[in-house]
Structure 1
Amino acid sequence: MFDYKDLLGIPFKRHGRDKNGMDCYGLVMEIQKRRGVVIPEFAYGDDVDMSLIHQMVAQGKQLFEKIDRPEAFCFVVFSVLPPYETHIGVVLEDSNSFIHIMRDKSVVVSRLDAVAWRHRIRGFYRWAA
């Protein structure tokens, strides 16, 4: 079983990549690193520029394989402010929940079928390399 509990409660920090603070992609990088998978860094400017983050997500998708349904440790991409895809999390081992962090919040686990998330899911991806 994968241990992620020490990540819960870490605060949001723009461009954060450690336990002092993370953004959603930094959290994804940390979880994959713990699994022995190194994924590339993607630089972005302002986290409120939705079109820029959307472009970054679109570029990053080329490195991932789209899958039809959630599986353990795949990435889940969301459109929090349609039409932009600007949020990412990691599906956990039960394939029903995911770990993520939102701006001005801390790391939490949420259910994929929760009212707040189920209609915002834009796809599931696994690392293709």
Structure 2
Amino acid sequence: MTKTVSDFVGIPYVPHGREYAGADCWGILFLYYRDVLGTPVPAYSAEMEAREFCNRSIGLLVDEEREKHWQQVDTPDVGDCVLMRAGRHDSHVGVFLGQGRMLHSEGPDPSVIERIADMRWRNRISGFYRLNQ
């Protein structure tokens, strides 16, 4: 069965989660890429758990992986990764859905669709990234 965007809204926030029963921000991107785009991306759950989900440590993982697997783009397309800061570090991601919207999950709240231009997000966006294939 093909998944639609609405299938991703309301997924409970679970740190390191990679399932519809619970997912963190990367888990939402992981599920979307797998089930909508048909493109596998690394789960990174073990790496994130080992780093104890500290924003600084996760930021370092993001930097390492971004250089290996992702290309920054000026204008995002549907499915591109939205990279955001939490505090001073890049440590939060969402999926760009087009029309200025993104899908993401930021604990403890379940996954939602929000506008990237909203006050809460517009100054936190570090960039848009496309998976190298």
Does the 8 Å CA contact 2:18/2:43 hold for their aligned counterparts?
A: no
The percent identity for this pair of structures is 26
Matched, 1:72 2:78: yes
Q: Residue 78 of structure 1: SS of its match in structure 2?
A: strand
Displacement of 1:17: 0.8
Residues 40-74 of structure 1, C-alpha deviations (whole Å, 9 max, x = no match): 12121322x11110011111102111101222110
3-state SS of 1:6 partner: helix
TM-score of the two chains, using structure 2 as the length reference: 0.89
Q: Does 1:54 align with 2:59?
A: yes
Unaligned runs of 5+ in 2: none
Distance 2:103 2:121 in 1: 12
Please give the per-residue CA displacement for 1:76-105, whole angstroms capped at 9, x wherever unaligned.
1000211x00000000033x1000000111
| Structure 2 contact 71–131 (Cα < 8 Å) conserved | yes
2:43 alignment counterpart: 41
CA distance in structure 2 between the partners assigned to 1:41 and 1:12 by the alignment? 16
Higher strand share: 2
* Residue 86 of structure 1 pairs with residue 91 of structure 2: yes
TM-score after normalising by structure 1: 0.92
**Per residue, is there more helix in 1 or in 2?**
2
In structure 2, the partner of 1:110 is 114
- Structure 1: gaps spanning 5 or more residues: none
